Amino acid sequence: MKDVLLQNAFLGVIIGILTSCPMGPVGVLCVRRTLSRGQNAGMLTGLGAALSDTTYASIVYLGVGLVISLIETYQSVLTIVGSLLILAFGIFLYATPPRYDSKDNEKSSQYNTWQILVSSFFLTLSNPTIIFFFIAFFGRYNFVHQTPFYWGVFVYSMCFIFIGALLWWALLTTIVSLFRKKIGLASLRTFNQLVALVFIVVALIGLGSALFGK
């Protein structure tokens, strides 16, 4: 059990970071709010996104836990499928430029703390495709593997996914605050391409381990 907890702590942080770092609508919104209203507003946006991501991660984890025997039986297949999904997303992310078209109201300078948090939460929640990323990463890293199911391990694992996501948003808002005069769409696209390359490398390693390992 100790090994499971240590593994899930490490992988939870990694999964939380990887699912948060693509510069989609919420990422752009976080950057915009950081530039216009400061790092606190950006962090509140990231906090809302992290809570939403953790909600989806919990749904996937619980759903996966119900069919744990199937996962153990088809671990190699799930690793291959998960890696292919991650690879496809990496290629899509690399080829798609970010846009300043997030659903943020420009009059929202009057937003209070809860409005910033809740708007970010529901904007992230409105994109259920994040479920597929969690399925892919959970399958790729064999993240759900304990039998029988333990609620304590579930809560513990979700906490580290949340921590990983929050670490990402803290890093992003800090960088934007430091270089706020140099941030533009070109910079965001370069960043997205770097993130996409990380996804592609992770996917290729997963495919290699599944096809040629053991």
The whole model's pTM is what?
Answer: 0.70
Element (DSSP H or E) covering residue 197: helix 185-212
CA 200 to chain centre: 15
pLDDT at 66 over 70: no
Candidates 100, 121, 105, 153; CA nearest to 44 is 121
Cα–Cα dist 176/35, whole Å: 7
Q: What digits encode the pLDDT tens for the residues 113-156? A: 888 888 888 878 877 778 878 877 887 777 776 556 677 888 88
